[in-house]
Chain A
């Protein structure tokens, strides 16, 4: 499978716990994005990497959230001290700056439930 993969697909945690999600982009893609999607809404931008550099972070990304892409390949999104309001689908997407329209390809998402 050469698409974007995310792990885990589902995560249930108790309030206050830390969680970490992983995203493996399409191998030749240099850009990687994280989004959050709540029920009945479109995805909301969280952060963007070009190679290993995190170039933009949304104001939605509070200080409890941190994202990394240490080698410019896979990325992790960590949420510390989870709150019930963090329950959502977390989507990862990747794109190539060289491709036509710089189209973003999305992974299947990680659904987080905070109890």
Chain B
């Protein structure tokens, strides 16, 4: 069964600190892996997309890694800001028509 699991379920950090979110997947066939940020009550917004051959991709203070051998990905947030408070969802694309398998997300709260 295609699954995407994320940890931790929730996380609280202080403003300015770094954090790393984890994603493990069992999806086949694998096309690419995406990290989305979802603010409360809003639709998800894409942060990064990585294909099988990419190990690292950065978008500002966000850096995603992908290990296709172990089927693991991480999202590292540097120098967190209050506006980083959101859910971060790991998503794996499979199949020909862009079928996406979503994780349940990690809810991040950044406190002053």
Give chain A's interface residues, CB within 8 Å of chain B.
Answer: 4, 31, 33, 40-45, 48, 50, 55-56, 89, 91, 93, 95, 101-109, 111
Q: Please measure, in the bound complex, the distance between the C-alpha atom of A93 and the C-alpha atom of B42, giving whole angstroms.
A: 12
> Chain B interface secondary structure, helix, strand, loop or mixed?
strand
Judged by a CB distance under 8 angstroms, whether B25 is at the interface is no
Which B residues form the contact surface with A (CB < 8 A)? 4, 32, 34, 36, 41-46, 49, 51, 89, 91, 93, 97-100, 102-105, 107
A-side contacts of B36, CB under 8 Å: 106
> Are B98 and A104 closer than 8 Å at their CB atoms?
yes
Please, how many angstroms separate the alpha-carbon atoms of A33 and B102 in the complex?
14
Contact A108 B100 (CB under 8 A): no
What are the residues of chain A within 8 A of B32 when measuring CB–CB? Answer: 101
Shortest 10 CB-CB distances between A and B: which pairs? A42-B102, A106-B43, A102-B98, A106-B44, A101-B49, A108-B43, A42-B104, A43-B102, A107-B43, A41-B104
* Set B49, B102, B103: member contacting A103, Cβ < 8 A: B49
The count of A-to-B residue pairs whose CB atoms sit within 8 angstroms is: 60
- Interface contact B89-A103, CB-CB below 8 Å: no
The smallest C-beta distance from A26 to any residue of chain B, in angstroms, reads: 13
Q: How far is the CA of A4 from the CA of B49 in the complex (A)?
A: 20
Contact of B97 with A48 in the complex, beta carbons under 8 Å: yes
Question: What are 25 of the A-B contact pairs (CB < 8 Å)?
Answer: A40-B105, A40-B107, A41-B104, A41-B105, A42-B4, A42-B89, A42-B103, A43-B44, A43-B100, A45-B99, A50-B97, A55-B97, A91-B44, A93-B43, A95-B98, A101-B51, A103-B46, A104-B98, A104-B100, A106-B36, A106-B44, A108-B42, A108-B43, A109-B41, A109-B43
Q: A43-B89, A109-B41, A109-B42 are in contact. List 17 more A-B contacts (CB 8 A).
A: A42-B91, A42-B103, A43-B100, A44-B102, A45-B99, A48-B99, A55-B97, A101-B32, A101-B51, A102-B93, A103-B34, A103-B46, A106-B43, A106-B45, A108-B41, A108-B42, A108-B43
